[in-house]
Chains A and B, each alone.
Chain A
Amino acid sequence: MLQIENLHVQIEEDGTKILKGVNLSVSAGEVHAIMGPNGSGKSTLASVLAGRAGYEVTDGSVTFQGQDLLEMEPDVRAREGLFLAFQYPIELPGVSMSNFLRQAVNSVRAHRGQDELSAVEFLKMMKERAGYVNLDPSLKQRAVNEGFSGGEKKRNEIFQLAMLEPKLAILDETDSGLDIDAMRIVADGINRLRSEDRSFVIITHYQRMLDYIVPDYVHVLVDGQIVRSGDKDLALELEDQGYDWLKDEIAEGTLS
């Protein structure tokens, strides 16, 4: 599904190096969690995968379903089946949820050779999928994210994920800013969307979301490199001991 090899990325504007040789391989149906302290490069990784401007790849490669992902425009990535749930979803005043989503869903479907959804089919699908994350149906009539609470914005991201049916979903700190109830709703929604041919990369600072979404693999990103990989127990270990012990090990050279 996704192969990241020796990925080096810097900020275009000032040349600050953020990712310093990331390697990651995600197969179909797998859930990978990427954890790490603030500033380790987690969100940069998500941004580069989705194609956000402002980053320069100086070395390495990313292959998505056998194609060079980095060569694709952001919208082509989306139509090919990559989805980014934003850490800070954008408010779009005047753009109605249903109009926006219908156009998005139909562009993705057209790309996959599927028929456009009729208005009736679309509304039915919207109603059903909004239910996955307990999204108030009236939100659909409103402008995208405008006046949504923090929790509603995050649930709206998962709702869009459900509508677009991607092959690979990258969740960028979807758990941040959520209280425990909201997090459970979001996690339930995500679990419902897990399938054999859909992979997830879950970027998070805290372990608690992984109580609800059990990952197949956990990776720890520190200073632009994945310094340790393991199973879900690694997340618990981090929860217990924080990131400092890993940093100490790096300093001592035991990890390198």
Chain B
Amino acid sequence: MSGAKKNLKDRILVAHKALDGSVLNGTGTALHALRKEGIRSFSAVGFPLPREEAWKYTPVTRWLSDSYEFLPQRIDVSSVAEQPTRSLEGYHVLTLNGRLLSEYSTLPPDGSGAVVCSIQEAVQSFPELIDRHLGRYADHRSESFPALNTAFLKDGLFIYLRTATKLDQPLYITEVLHEDGSIFHQPRLLLIADKGSQASIVQICEGAASATSFENAVAEFYLASEAVIDHYHVFDRGDDAQIVETLNVYQEGRSHFSTNHVAFSGSLIRSNLNLLPDGEECETRLFGLVVARGKAHVDVHSLVDHAQPSCMSNELYKFILDDEATGVFNGKVLVRQDAQQTNAYQTNRSILLSSSAHMYSKPELEIYADDVKCSHGATTGQLDDEAIFYLRSRGLTKNHAKMLLLEAFAKDVLDLIEIDPLRERLIARLMDILSASATNNA
């Protein structure tokens, strides 16, 4: 296996050489310099190996194949059907294979203070912002996947909220894939929220992805002081989808960031969430719901790095695992010596519906400050038989009883979604999945 993947690494290096001189050219010297750094570090580190602690339970090379295209040229825009998410009230950004399709998007109007454009355009229009923020938060110097993403960085999505901009409606980013062959997708997102700006950003990854493709997504968020960003990310690309996503968030003082990850389908989903509240009185929240069935493998790796005093972080992740699904939760909270009066909480709860499902939960609390309040807890178990019996004794079938309990378990997270139509849509989808699951197990 490692031999074959070594081959993949070599192929990547060859492909990069060919593309960097041609297709990737003309996208500005800023991107060129980043690409160079990216390929240099990818060349050095390669893909993560299972012996690395952070990838112990997710031997990622198992999901990689040898024959990817790195910059697909054949993109069929006509394949972009009307997206179901379009009906949700808000601004809508449509991307196809990571490329912004303005003609299919409903962007915030001029004068709203919000700019949504491609990274290529931003290189021209906002060179100083690109220079200051792009590649500054995701670690492409030592992390494989950000390095690889950065090595082929040509375009992506750029969102800029000017000082004190308050976006009146959620901004939905629907990320559609068009696949003609085996494609290594590498979408990139840069969000810059200037001082006091506020927005809700919803990333929707829906529409089936093929088993022969792979997605390596990188997002970087910069929150200036007093910015408030509520982020949502929905993964529902079908049972074959393979995704490694990296989200790095840098927060200045008194900024508030929350992210709510909802994973409903995928063969592999690995999330690397790195939160750096680097100013006083920041608030950081990470919520997640994972429902995994079949042979799905969902791994959430998070780091909240408290470097400054008087910040708060709260993390709640719930997993429902059925069939032969595997869940991994590795949540690290680091409270550095200067981060006095930190309040940091972390909870991971998992329910296994099948004896073949597995959950690996590893909370890590590292505290170097002495005046802090921190807690963490992790539980993994089955549905409570006595609770099922109680519901059955009131006339509900066994499946019905289980669904009601699972719904309650999951809604603990989904109820935290503050956008009503989005929450309702996700609850409806959850109920579909649970009832299909219950029928299969009947």
Give A residues with C-beta under 8 Å from B: 50-53, 73-75, 77-79, 83-84, 86, 89-90, 92-95, 99-101, 103-105, 107-108, 111, 143, 160, 164
Q: A93-B408, A100-B404 are in contact. Are A164 and B390 (CB under 8 A)?
A: no
The answer to whether B404 touches A107, judged by C-beta atoms less than 8 angstroms apart, is no
> Which B residues from 379 to 397 make CB contacts under 8 A with A?
384-387, 389-397
Give B residues with C-beta under 8 Å from A: 384-387, 389-398, 400-401, 404-405, 407-409, 411-412
Instruction: Quote the shortest CB–CB distance from A107 to chain B (angstroms).
Output: 4
> Which of A53, A99, A164 is the one whose CB lies under 8 Å from B395?
A164
Closest to A88 in B: B386
Q: Which B residues are CB-close (under 8 A) to A143?
A: 408
The answer to whether A78 touches B412, judged by C-beta atoms less than 8 angstroms apart, is no
The answer to whether A103 touches B393, judged by C-beta atoms less than 8 angstroms apart, is no
The answer to whether A78 touches B386, judged by C-beta atoms less than 8 angstroms apart, is no
Leading 6 A-B pairs by shortest Cβ distance:
A94-B408, A78-B395, A104-B394, A75-B392, A90-B390, A74-B392
The answer to whether B404 touches A74, judged by C-beta atoms less than 8 angstroms apart, is no
Kindly state the separation between the CA atoms of A73 and B384 in the bound complex, as whole angstroms: 18
Instruction: Quote the shortest CB–CB distance from A212 to chain B (angstroms).
Output: 25
Q: Which B residues are CB-close (under 8 A) to A86?
A: 390, 393
Q: Which A residues are CB-close (under 8 A) to B385?
A: 53
The answer to whether B395 touches A79, judged by C-beta atoms less than 8 angstroms apart, is yes
Instruction: Quote the shortest CB–CB distance from A49 to chain B (angstroms).
Output: 10
Kindly state the separation between the CA atoms of A188 and B392 in the bound complex, as whole angstroms: 27
Instruction: Quote the shortest CB–CB distance from A151 to chain B (angstroms).
Output: 19
Kindly state the separation between the CA atoms of A94 and B413 in the bound complex, as whole angstroms: 11
The answer to whether B387 touches A78, judged by C-beta atoms less than 8 angstroms apart, is no
Closest to B389 in A: A52
Closest to B387 in A: A90
Kindly state the separation between the CA atoms of A107 and B392 in the bound complex, as whole angstroms: 11
The answer to whether B390 touches A103, judged by C-beta atoms less than 8 angstroms apart, is no
Kindly state the separation between the CA atoms of A111 and B400 in the bound complex, as whole angstroms: 15
The answer to whether B404 touches A103, judged by C-beta atoms less than 8 angstroms apart, is yes
Kindly state the separation between the CA atoms of A95 and B407 in the bound complex, as whole angstroms: 8
Known: A75-B400, A100-B394. 11 other contacts (CB 8 A): A50-B393, A74-B389, A83-B393, A86-B390, A89-B390, A101-B394, A103-B396, A104-B391, A104-B394, A104-B395, A108-B395
Kindly state the separation between the CA atoms of A61 and B396 in the bound complex, as whole angstroms: 25
Instruction: Quote the shortest CB–CB distance from A197 to chain B (angstroms).
Output: 18
Q: Which of A52, A75, A107, A164 has the most CB of B within 10 A?
A: A75
Q: List 18 A-B contacts (CB under 8 A).
A: A51-B393, A74-B392, A75-B395, A75-B396, A75-B401, A86-B393, A90-B390, A92-B390, A92-B391, A92-B408, A94-B409, A100-B391, A100-B404, A104-B395, A104-B396, A107-B397, A143-B408, A164-B395
The answer to whether B386 touches A160, judged by C-beta atoms less than 8 angstroms apart, is no
Instruction: Quote the shortest CB–CB distance from B214 to chain A (angstroms).
Output: 36
Interface of B, secondary structure class, is helix
The answer to whether A75 touches B398, judged by C-beta atoms less than 8 angstroms apart, is yes
Q: Which B residues are CB-close (under 8 A) to A101?
A: 394
The answer to whether A95 touches B393, judged by C-beta atoms less than 8 angstroms apart, is no
The answer to whether B404 touches A95, judged by C-beta atoms less than 8 angstroms apart, is yes
Q: Which A residues are CB-close (under 8 A) to B396?
A: 75, 103-104, 107
Q: A92-B390, A100-B404 are in contact. Are A75 and B412 (CB under 8 A)?
A: no
Closest to B412 in A: A94
Closest to B410 in A: A94
Q: Which B residues are CB-close (under 8 A) to A92?
A: 387, 390-391, 405, 408
The answer to whether B395 touches A111, judged by C-beta atoms less than 8 angstroms apart, is yes
Closest to A107 in B: B395
Kindly state the separation between the CA atoms of A141 and B379 in the bound complex, as whole angstroms: 27
Q: Which of A86, A95, A105, A160 has the most CB of B within 10 A?
A: A95
Q: Which A residues are CB-close (under 8 A) to B408?
A: 92-95, 143
Kindly state the separation between the CA atoms of A100 and B388 in the bound complex, as whole angstroms: 12
Kindly state the separation between the CA atoms of A74 and B391 in the bound complex, as whole angstroms: 9
> Which of B389, B394, B405, B411 is the one whose CB lies under 8 Å from A53?
B389
The answer to whether A73 touches B392, judged by C-beta atoms less than 8 angstroms apart, is yes
Closest to B408 in A: A94
Q: Which B residues are CB-close (under 8 A) to A52?
A: 389
Q: Which A residues are CB-close (under 8 A) to B389?
A: 51-53, 74
Q: Which A residues are CB-close (under 8 A) to B393?
A: 50-51, 74-75, 77-78, 83-84, 86
> Which of A51, A99, A164 is the one whose CB lies under 8 Å from B394?
A164
Q: Which A residues are CB-close (under 8 A) to B387?
A: 90, 92
Q: Which A residues are CB-close (under 8 A) to B405?
A: 92, 95
Instruction: Quote the shortest CB–CB distance from B158 to chain A (angstroms).
Output: 40
Kindly state the separation between the CA atoms of A50 and B395 in the bound complex, as whole angstroms: 11
Kindly state the separation between the CA atoms of A88 and B397 in the bound complex, as whole angstroms: 21
Kindly state the separation between the CA atoms of A86 and B387 in the bound complex, as whole angstroms: 12
Kindly state the separation between the CA atoms of A75 and B386 in the bound complex, as whole angstroms: 13
Kindly state the separation between the CA atoms of A53 and B398 in the bound complex, as whole angstroms: 13
Q: Which B residues are CB-close (under 8 A) to A83?
A: 393
Closest to B409 in A: A94
The answer to whether B398 touches A73, judged by C-beta atoms less than 8 angstroms apart, is yes
The answer to whether B390 touches A75, judged by C-beta atoms less than 8 angstroms apart, is no
Q: A92-B405, A95-B404 are in contact. Are A78 and B390 (CB under 8 A)?
A: no
Kindly state the separation between the CA atoms of A78 and B389 in the bound complex, as whole angstroms: 11
The answer to whether B394 touches A78, judged by C-beta atoms less than 8 angstroms apart, is yes
Kindly state the separation between the CA atoms of A107 and B393 in the bound complex, as whole angstroms: 12
Kindly state the separation between the CA atoms of A148 and B407 in the bound complex, as whole angstroms: 21
Instruction: Quote the shortest CB–CB distance from B150 to chain A (angstroms).
Output: 42
Kindly state the separation between the CA atoms of A126 and B397 in the bound complex, as whole angstroms: 22
Kindly state the separation between the CA atoms of A164 and B392 in the bound complex, as whole angstroms: 13
Q: Which A residues are CB-close (under 8 A) to B412?
A: 94
Closest to A94 in B: B408
Instruction: Quote the shortest CB–CB distance from A186 to chain B (angstroms).
Output: 18
Kindly state the separation between the CA atoms of A95 and B396 in the bound complex, as whole angstroms: 13
